[in-house]
Structure 1
Amino acid sequence: MFPPDFAWGAATAAYQIEGGWQTDGKGPSIWDTFCHKEGRGCGAQTGDVTCNSYELWDKDLQCIRQLGLTHYRLSLSWPRLLPDGTTRHVNQKGVEYYNKVIDDLRSCDVSPMVTLYHFDLPQALQDGGGWKAPAIAAAFDDYARFCFRTFGDRVKLWLTVNEPYVCAKLGHEDGVHAPGLKEAGTAAYLAGHNMLRAHARAWHSYNSLYRSTQGGAVSLAINSDWLEPWRPEHAADVSASARSLAFTLGWFGWPLFVTGDYPHAMRAAVDTQSVKLGHRGGPRLPVFSEDEPSPLGTADFFALNYYTSRKVKDGSGGEWGMSMRCDRDTEEILDPDWSICGAAWLAVVPGGLRKLLHYIKDTFGDPVVYITENGFCQAGPLVKEDAQRGRFYEETIQEVEKAIGEDGVNVRGYFAWSLLDNFEWADGFDLRFGLFHVDFSDAERKRTIYRSGLEYARIISKYKAAHSK
Structure 2
Amino acid sequence: MGTSGPEGARGPGSLPLCPARGLTGCPGPRARLPLLLTQAPLASSAFLPSPLNGAIEPLCRGRLGHRPHPQPEPSLCCGLCSQGQQRPWGQSESALAATASLGVSGTRDNDPRNGGGPGAMKPVQVVTLWWVLLLVSRLGAARKGSPEEASFYYGTFPLGFSWGVGSSAFQTEGAWDQDGKGPSIWDAFTHSGKGKVLGDETADVACDGYYKVQEDIILLRELRVSHYRFSLSWPRLLPTGVRADKVNKRGIKFYSDFIDALLKSNITPIVTLHHWDLPQLLQVKYGGWQNGSMVNYFGDYADLCFEAFGDRVKHWITFSDPRTMAEKGFETGHHAPGLQLHGTGLYRAAHHIIKAHAQAWHSYNSTWRAKQRGLVGISLNCDWGEPVDISSPKDIEAAERYLQFCLGWFANPIYAGDYPQVMKERIGKKSVEQGLDMSRLPVFSLQEKSYIKGTSDFLGLGHFTTRYITERNYPSRQGPSYQNDRDLVELVDPNWPDLGSKWLYSVPWGFRRLLHFAQTQYGNPPIYVTENGASQKLHCTQLCDEWRIQYLKGYINEMLKAIKDGANIKGYTSWSLLDKFEWEKGYSDRYGFYYVEFNNRNKPRYPKASVQYYEKIITANGFPNPREVESWYLKALETCSINNQMLAAEPLLSHMQMVTEIVVPTVCTLCVLISAVLLMLLLRSQS
TM class, shorter-chain normalised? Answer: over 0.9
Gaps of 5+ in 1: none
The letter for the 2-side match of 1:108 is: S
Taking the TM superposition and a 5 Å limit, the aligned residue runs for 1:352-371 are: 352-371=510-529
CA displacement at 1:38 relative to structure 2: 2.2
Instruction: Write the distance in 2 (CA, Å) between the matches of 1:243 and 1:142.
Output: 35
Point out the more displaced range, 72-81 or 380-389.
380-389
Partner Cα distance (2:186, 2:403) in 1: 28
Q: 2:543 aligns with which of 384, 392, 400?
A: 384
Residues in 2 aligned to 1:201 and 1:279: alpha-carbon distance in whole angstroms: 31
Instruction: State the partner residue of 1:403.
Output: 562
Aligned pair partner of 1:38 in 193, 214, 236: 193
| Partner SS state of residue 177, structure 1 | coil
Kindly provide the amino acid, as one letter, of the partner of residue 265 in structure 1: V
After superposition, the C-alpha distances for 1:250-286 in whole angstroms (9 at most, x for unaligned) are 00010111x2000000111101111111123x32111
Over residues 118-146 of structure 1, what are the superposed CA-to-partner deviations in whole Å (9 max), with x where a residue is unaligned?
00000011111100101100000000000
**Residues 166 and 228, structure 2, Cα contact 8 Å, conserved in 1:** yes
Q: TM-score, normalised by structure 1?
A: 0.97
Query: Which whole-Å deviations, capped at 9, do the CAs of 1:214-252 have from their partners, x for residues lacking one?
Result: 000001110100011111111111111111111100000
Q: What displacement does 1:291 show?
A: 4.4
Q: Report the Cα distance in structure 1 between the residues aligned to 2:587 and 2:375, rounded to whole angstroms.
A: 33
Alignment of 1:281-292 (within 5 A): 282-292=438-448
Q: Percent identity?
A: 43
Task: Name the residue aligned to 1:432.
Answer: 590
1:224-303 map, 5 Å = 224-257=382-415, 259-280=416-437, 282-292=438-448, 294-303=451-460
Q: 1:52 aligns with which of 208, 233, 236?
A: 208
One-letter identity of the residue aligned with 1:415: T
- Using the TM superposition, give the Cα deviation of residue 298 of structure 1 relative to its aligned residue in structure 2, in angstroms: 0.3
Identify which of 241, 261, 268 aligns with 1:85: 241
Q: 1:368 to 1:266 in 2, by over 3 A?
A: same
> In the TM superposition, what whole-angstrom CA distance separates every residue of 1:60-99 from its partner, at most 9, and x where no partner exists?
1111011001100000000000000011201011011101
- Give 2:497's aligned amino acid: S
Alpha-carbon distance in 1 for matches of 2:494, 2:422? 29
- Look up the match of 2:484: 326
CA contact (8 A) 2:382 2:463 kept: yes
1: CA distance between counterparts of 2:596 and 2:193? 26
Q: Does 1:463 align with 2:621?
A: yes
Give the aligned partner of residue 198 of structure 1. Answer: 356
Instruction: Give per-residue Cα distances to partners, 1:374-433, cap 9 Å, x unaligned.
Output: 00000142111111111211121111111111x110111000000000001111100000
Q: 2:379 aligns with which of 214, 221, 226?
A: 221
Equivalent residue in structure 1 for 2:255, among 67, 76, 98: 98
Q: CA contact under 8 A between 2:197 and 2:583: conserved in structure 1? A: no
Cα distance between partner residues in 2 of 1:213 and 1:79: 27
Deviation at 1:465, TM superposition (A): 11
CA distance in 2, matches of 1:163, 1:398: 24
Between the aligned partners of 1:331 and 1:144, the Cα distance in structure 2 is 38
SS at match of 1:294: helix
> 1-side partners of 2:621 and 2:474: how far apart?
50
2:335 corresponds to 1:177: yes
Measured in 1, the distance between the counterparts of 2:475 and 2:353 equals: 31
Amino acid at match of 2:275: H
Other-structure match for 2:163: 8
Specify which structure has the bigger relative contact order, considering alpha-carbon pairs within 8 angstroms and separated by 6 or more residues: 2
Answer yes or no: is the 8 Å Cα contact 2:398–2:471 preserved in 1.
Answer: yes
Amino acid at match of 1:147: C
From the superposition, tell whether residues 212 and 182 of structure 1 become closer, same or farther in structure 2 (CA, over 3 Å). Answer: same
CA distance in 2, matches of 1:448, 1:38: 30
Aligned residue in 1 for 2:669: none
Query: What SS is found at the alignment partner of 2:589?
Result: coil
Displacement of 1:290 in angstroms is: 3.6
Q: C-alpha offsets along residues 34-70 of structure 1, whole Å, 9 cap, x if unaligned?
A: 0011211323201100001001111111110110011
Give the one of 303, 325, 335 matched to 1:145. Answer: 303
> Is this contact kept in 1: 2:617–2:623, CA < 8 A?
no
Residue type at the aligned position of 2:579: D
Secondary structure (helix, strand or coil) at the match of 2:571 reads strand
Deviates more, 1:27-36 or 1:311-320: 311-320
Q: Residue 119 in 1 paired to residue 276 in 2?
A: yes
Q: In structure 1, the residue corresponding to 2:209 is in which secondary structure? A: coil
Q: Is the 8 A contact 2:385 2:468 kept in 1?
A: yes
Indicate which of 22, 32, 41 corresponds to 2:177: 22
Correspondence for 1:107 among 234, 255, 264: 264
Bigger shift: residues 215-224 or 380-389:
380-389
User: Which residue does the alignment assign to 2:365?
Assistant: 207
The answer to whether 1:351 aligns with 2:503 is: no
Residue 273 of structure 1 aligns with an amino acid whose one-letter code is K
Q: Which residue of 2 aligns with 1:64?
A: 220
Structure 1 Cα separation of the partners of residues 498 and 279 of structure 2: 35
Name which of 283, 296, 304 aligns with 2:461.
304
* 2:157/2:622 contact within 8 Å kept: no
- Between the aligned partners of 1:464 and 1:236, the Cα distance in structure 2 is 39
Q: Which moved more, 1:442-451 or 1:34-43?
A: 34-43
Taking the aligned partners of 2:622 and 2:389, their CA distance within structure 1 comes to 42
Report the number of matched residues. 463
What whole-Å deviation, never above 9, does each CA across 1:277-303 have from its counterpart, x for those lacking one?
1123x3211111344462110010110
* Greater CA drift, 27-36 or 271-280: 271-280
Shift of 1:318: 5.2
Taking the aligned partners of 1:383 and 1:9, their CA distance within structure 2 comes to: 23
Distance 1:276 1:4 in 2: 55
RMSD: 1.3
Distance 1:364-1:465 versus aligned 2 partners, 3 A rule: closer
Between stretches 231-240 and 6-15, larger displacement belongs to 231-240
Separation in 1 of the partners of 2:623 and 2:312?
A: 27
Q: Distance in 2 between matches of 1:187 and 1:294?
A: 23
Distance (Å, rounded) in 2 between the aligned partners of 1:104 and 1:233: 55
**Residue identity matched to 2:593:** L
Q: Verify: 1:158 aligned to 2:316, yes or no.
A: yes
Higher mean displacement: 111-120 or 381-390: 381-390
SS of 2:500's equivalent in the other structure is coil
What is the Cα deviation at residue 444 of structure 1? Answer: 1.1
The runs of 5 or more residues in structure 2 that have no matched partner are 1-155, 625-687
Q: CA deviation at 1:5?
A: 1.3
Give the equivalent residue in structure 2 for 1:167: 325
Partner SS state of residue 54, structure 1: helix
Amino acid at match of 1:53: G
Measured in 1, the distance between the counterparts of 2:193 and 2:582 equals: 18
Give the number of the structure whose alpha-carbon radius of gyration is greater.
Answer: 2
> Which 10-residue stretch deviates more, 123-132 or 140-149?
123-132
